[in-house]
Amino acid sequence: MFEHLVYFTSAAVATWLLFKIFQTLQNRLPHPPGPPPLPLIGNFHQLPKSDLHLKLKEWKDEFGPLVFVSILGSPVLYLNEYEDARELLDTRGSIYSDRPRFEMATELVQFNRSTVMSPFNRYHRAIRKLLSATFSGRRTERFEGVQEKAALTFVNDVLKEPKQLVPFLRRMAGEVILGITYGYDVRASNDPIVAMAERSNAEFGQAVTVGAFFVDFIPIMKYIPEWFPFATFQKTAALWREHFHEATNVPYEAVKEAMARGEARPSYVADHLQDHEGPMSAEDEDVLKFSAMNMYTAGADTVTTVLKTFFFIMTAHPSIQKRAQEEVDSIIRGEDRLPRIADREKLPFVEAVLLEIMRWAPLVPFGIPHRLSSPDVYKGYYIPKNTIVYANQWEMCQNPEQYPNPQEFRPERFLDLDPQKRQQDPRQIAFGFGRRICPGKELADSTIFLTMAILLATCTIEPGLDASGQEIQPVAEFNWGLVCELKDWEFRIRPREGKGIQLLRNPHEG
C-alpha cells in the first residue's frame, strides 16, 4: 500500500516537472513572424478598413505563410497556406475549434447559443451530431423536390424582373433552407419568419463589429444593470436577445403545433422531435431549436452570393455559358425534362464551372475565426492560448503554385484527366476546416449545382446594353466583408428558344 503511494506520488511529480519544463521551453520559443506591434493597440492601426486581402498579401510576401499580429491585446494568426490550415484546424482540431468571445454578442445577446458562435463544448458537439443526421453526406437528397421547386420559382421570377436578382436568390435559398429545416413554405413577399431571421442576423452583424461596444474591451461592464444611466448597451442587448429568441422560438413552436395537428412535413426539426424518446430536456430543446434557426442565417446569404457570381460569370464569359449549355442539353436531349442532381456525374464541365466559382471568388475570404483553447507549438513557433486563427481562404485560392494564373476564370483547370495534374478541389478550402467545417456544405453544393443546371437548360444570360445599344462588358469588383460579394453589374436574361420556355412552364412533362 505504502509502495503504491510512493510510486503514485513520484509519477505525479515527474509528470508535473516534465510539464513545467515543456512550458518553459514553449515560452522561450518565438511567436510566428509578423509586423512589430505598438503598445496596447498592437497592429490594429495597420488593418485597413477595406481591401484587407491586399494587406494580408503584403504581410504574406514579407513574413511567409504564417503571420502573427496582435489586435487590441488579442493574438491573431493568419494561415495563408492550405497545408497549415489542415494541420492546425483539422488535425489539431481538439484545441483549434473554439470561437472568439464577444461580451456583447455572445454573452449578453446570447448568440453563443447559435451553432456558429457556440464555444467548442458539449453543447456544440450535440448540435453537430444532430445536424449531421439530417444534413451530412447524401442525406439531403430526399429534399431534391424542395430544391427543384424553389429553383423553378426563382428562374420564372428573375426572367420577369432581372433587377430583383438578389432578393429572388435570397428567397430561393430561404425556401430551400426553411423547407428542409422546418417544413415551412416561404411566402412570396414579406414572409414573417424570414423577416424575423433577417432582423436578428442584421443585429448579429452589428453586435460582432469590432469596436462597436466598450463592453467588449472592458468585460466587467456587463454587470452594470439595465436601469443604470448610460447603460444603453444593456437595453440594446435585451432587445436583440428578445429578437433572437423570437426568431428561434416562433418557427420551432409552429412545427410542434403542426405535429400536434398531424400536419407536420418531414423536416430537420420534425424528424428529431419525432425520433426523440420521452420528453426533451431544456438543453436538448435548445440544441435543436437554436441549431435550426442558425441554418437560415448562416445559409441564405452564402448560397445567394455564390449564385450571384454564377450570373456574373455567365454574363462575362459567353463561351463558357455555351459549352455548359451544350453539356446540359446533351444529357436531357430526347427526354424533355429538367436536369437533376443524379445527372451530376455526366456534367463534368458544369461541375468544373462550380468549382472555379468557389475558387475564383471564395465566399468567406478569411474564413470564420477559430480560437485556440490551449497553447501550442508549430514549426518551432509558440502560439499562445486564446490566439484567434484565420484561414486566409482568399490567399489559398489565389496561390499560383496551386492554381496557375489564379486571376483567370478557367474551369478547365479542374478537368484534367490525369489526377496528378488536376488542381485541388476548392471546396476543401471554401467550407472551412475541422470540427467547425460548414454543416450545410452538401446542401449548399447541391442547391447551387441544381439551380445552375436548371438555369443553363432554360435561360441565356447576356451583358446589359448601354444607351446606344452596345453591350456593357462587366468588370468584377467586390464588396469585402465577412462574405465577399460581387458589386452589381448590368445583365439581361431570356428564356432559351423553344425548349427553355416549354420546360419552365411544365418541367415534368416537357
Binding residues for heme: 438
Contact between 367 and ligand HEM by CB under 6 A: the answer reads yes
Contact between 298 and ligand HEM by CB under 6 A: the answer reads yes
CA distances from 396 to 97, 174, 213, 413 (A): 20, 30, 32, 16
Residue 282's identity, in one-letter code, is: A
Buried b (16+ CB within 10 A) or exposed e, 312-348: bbbbbbeebbebbbebbeebbeeeeebbebebbeebe
Contact between 432 and ligand HEM by CB under 6 A: the answer reads yes
**In the complex, what is the shortest distance from the CB of residue 183 to ligand HEM, in angstroms, rounded to a whole number?**
15
**In the complex, what is the shortest distance from the CB of residue 491 to ligand HEM, in angstroms, rounded to a whole number?**
21
Task: For ligand HEM, give the closer residue by CB, 121 or 232.
Answer: 121
Contact between 350 and ligand HEM by CB under 6 A: the answer reads no
Contact between 193 and ligand HEM by CB under 6 A: the answer reads no
CA distances from 153 to 147, 159, 294, 345 (A): 10, 10, 24, 25
Number of residues counted as binding ligand HEM (CB under 6 A)? 26
DSSP-derived 3-state class of residue 443: helix
User: Which span sits near ligand HEM by CB under 6 A: 271-279, 312-320, 340-348, 435-443?
Assistant: 435-443
Quote the cell numbers at residue 48. Answer: 485597413
User: Which span sits near ligand HEM by CB under 6 A: 4-12, 30-38, 185-193, 426-434?
Assistant: 426-434
Contact between 130 and ligand HEM by CB under 6 A: the answer reads no
The span from the CA of 65 to the CA of 81, in Å, is 6
Task: For ligand HEM, give the closer residue by CB, 367 or 500.
Answer: 367
Q: Which of 443, 456, 461, 503 binds ligand HEM (CB under 6 A)?
A: 443
**How do beta strands 388-391 and 370-371 pair?**
antiparallel
Q: Which of 431, 449, 489, 491 binds ligand HEM (CB under 6 A)?
A: 431
Q: Which of 312, 360, 433, 489 binds ligand HEM (CB under 6 A)?
A: 433
Contact between 436 and ligand HEM by CB under 6 A: the answer reads yes
User: Which span sits near ligand HEM by CB under 6 A: 18-26, 302-310, 322-330, 343-351?
Assistant: 302-310
User: Which span sits near ligand HEM by CB under 6 A: 103-111, 151-159, 281-289, 362-370?
Assistant: 362-370
In this structure, the dihedral spanned by the alpha carbons of residues 380, 383, 384 and 389, taken in order and rounded to 10 degrees, is: 180
**In the complex, what is the shortest distance from the CB of residue 220 to ligand HEM, in angstroms, rounded to a whole number?**
28
Q: Using alpha carbons, select from 104, 105, 103, 67 the residue that is nearest to residue 84.
A: 67
* Extended strands (E) in 375-490: 376-378, 381-383, 388-391, 459-463, 478-479, 485-486
Tell me which long-range contacts 24-30 makes (C-beta under 8 A, separation of at least 24).
26/375, 26/377, 26/382, 27/382, 28/382, 29/377, 29/380, 29/381, 29/382, 30/380, 30/381, 30/382
**In the complex, what is the shortest distance from the CB of residue 297 to ligand HEM, in angstroms, rounded to a whole number?**
8
Contact between 364 and ligand HEM by CB under 6 A: the answer reads yes
Task: For ligand HEM, give the closer residue by CB, 215 or 293.
Answer: 293
Q: Which of 287, 430, 456, 504 binds ligand HEM (CB under 6 A)?
A: 430
Contact between 388 and ligand HEM by CB under 6 A: the answer reads no
Q: Which of 174, 251, 365, 440 binds ligand HEM (CB under 6 A)?
A: 440
The span from the CA of 160 to the CA of 176, in Å, is 21
Q: Which of 444, 453, 461, 484 binds ligand HEM (CB under 6 A)?
A: 444
Report DSSP letters for 408-420, one per residue. S--GGGGT-SSTT
Adjacency order of strands within the sheet including 74-79: 66-71, 74-79, 388-391, 370-371
Contact between 197 and ligand HEM by CB under 6 A: the answer reads no
In whole angstroms, what separates CA 328 from the centre of its chain? 28
Contact 216, 104 (CB under 8 A): yes
Contact between 201 and ligand HEM by CB under 6 A: the answer reads no
Task: For ligand HEM, give the closer residue by CB, 108 or 295.
Answer: 295
Contact between 486 and ligand HEM by CB under 6 A: the answer reads no
Task: For ligand HEM, give the closer residue by CB, 350 or 364.
Answer: 364
**In the complex, what is the shortest distance from the CB of residue 323 to ligand HEM, in angstroms, rounded to a whole number?**
23
3-state helix, strand, coil split of the chain in percent (to 5) is: 55, 10, 35
**In the complex, what is the shortest distance from the CB of residue 443 to ligand HEM, in angstroms, rounded to a whole number?**
5
Q: Which of 166, 212, 415, 437 binds ligand HEM (CB under 6 A)?
A: 437
Q: Which phi and psi angles does 439 have, rounded to 5°?
A: -75, -10
DSSP-derived 3-state class of residue 175: helix
Q: Using alpha carbons, select from 159, 191, 160 the residue that is nearest to residue 173.
A: 191
Contact between 299 and ligand HEM by CB under 6 A: the answer reads yes
Residues that bind ligand HEM (CB under 6 A): 115-116, 177, 294-295, 298-299, 302-303, 306, 363-364, 367-368, 370, 430-433, 436-440, 443-444
